[in-house]
Amino acid sequence: MTIWFHAIRPKTLVAGAAPVLVGSALAWADGRFVDWVGALALVCAVLIQIASNFINELEDFKRGADARRVGPIRAVSAGLITPASMRRASWGVVLTAFVLGLPIVWHAGPIVLGIGVVCLVMAWMYTGGPFPLAYHGLGEVFAFLFFGVVAVAGTYYAHAGRWSADAFVASVGPGLLAANILAVNNLRDMYTDAIANKRTLAVRFGAMFARIAYAVCTAVAIAVPSIVLSTHRGPWVLLPLITMPLGIMFMALIHRRSGAELNPLLGGTALLYVMYTVCAVMGIALSRL
């Protein structure tokens, strides 16, 4: 069980949970929150993240991307979990997410079904299929869109049955911070990724580009959504700005570290994402008062 726990990659699950919490907080602030929808959406989002992690292990193993990795051990490439077992587990998680999402489809309509199916397909296309996104420098774009825009706006729609401009604004924070988790991972692995022909942004444009992009994404994620939303939702939504000092510290650290030295920063970036999410949810909820 310990092996499977590590294969789930618990530190990455914030990327699945955070945007759903933000979208649900917005729905609550607008008086459109449905408790069971929020709970099921959260479970489904985490399951999709787990499925993506499992599929990532399989596809990276097939392409040899984990052969010389400097990050945490990967169970399939290390021979601790067989590819067949990981494939069955991936299908099991995907089917569970699909079934659990059906009541939300009944509540909010076929648009939610489309969102869910696209998310499940993209979880596979991230590292699988004829054009794996992560191998063509589109991983961070994928993270921004599906762990930001689609997840936050889609969650709000699942609650309210309509779209919200504020949900799209609020999605910028989770989307960019999720992309940053991936960016640190890719910066750490850029040399082994290049050997495996995994053309991430760090491989394509170099370490300096990746470091600058991380800093810009951090600053924009923390500042821009809060400032924009505060113009009509009030000062409480500025609460995420208190995470900026931690973000600035990580902006500095990423310029001083490389390789395995980036492992603590990967966990730190996930922690920043958690702190940001807590502040964003609290700020949005308090804005209703």
The domain segmentation of the chain, as residue ranges, is 2-286
For residue 250, the SS3 value is helix
CA distance 16 to 278: 14
Tens-place pLDDT, residues 85-106: 999 999 999 999 999 999 999 9
What pLDDT does residue 246 have? 97
Interval 169-190: pLDDT, tens:
999 999 999 999 999 999 999 9
Q: pLDDT-derived band of residue 72, with 50, 70 and 90 as boundaries?
A: low
By mean pLDDT, which of 46-50, 67-71, 113-117, 234-238 is the weakest? 67-71
What confidence category does residue 57 fall into, taking pLDDT thresholds of 50, 70 and 90?
Answer: confident
Residue pair 180/199 in contact (Cβ under 8 Å)? The answer is no
Q: What is the pLDDT of residue 224?
A: 98
**Predicted pLDDT of residue 43:** 97
Dist. CA 130–CA 145, nearest whole Å: 20
CA-CA-CA-CA torsion sign (135, 264, 11, 250): negative
pLDDT value for 59 = 83
Tokens at 211, concatenated:
């470091």
The string of pLDDT tens digits covering residues 187-218 is: 999 988 888 888 999 999 999 999 999 999 99
3-state secondary structure of 200: coil
What mean pLDDT comes out for the span 216-230? 98
Which candidate, 159, 169, 154, 175, places its Cα nearest to that of 237? 169
Q: Is the pLDDT of residue 68 over 80?
A: no
Q: 221-246 b/e with 16+ CB inside 10 Å = b?
A: bbbebbeebbeebeebbbbbbebbeb
pLDDT of residue 76: 82
Contact present, 133 and 169 (Cβ < 8 Å) = no
**What's the CATH number of domain 2-286, 1.10.3470, 1.10.600, 3.40.1350, 1.10.287?**
1.10.600
Give the confidence band of 13 by pLDDT, cuts at 50, 70, 90.
confident
Please state the pTM of the whole predicted model: 0.93
pLDDT, tens digit, for every residue of 44-53?
999 999 998 9
Residue 66 scores a pLDDT above 60: no
- Mean pLDDT, residues 245-249: 97
Give the total residue count for the chain: 289
pLDDT single digits (tens) 131-159? 899 899 999 999 999 999 999 999 999 99
| Residue among 82, 102, 93, 85 at smallest CA distance from 37 | 102
Write down the mean pLDDT value for the chain: 92
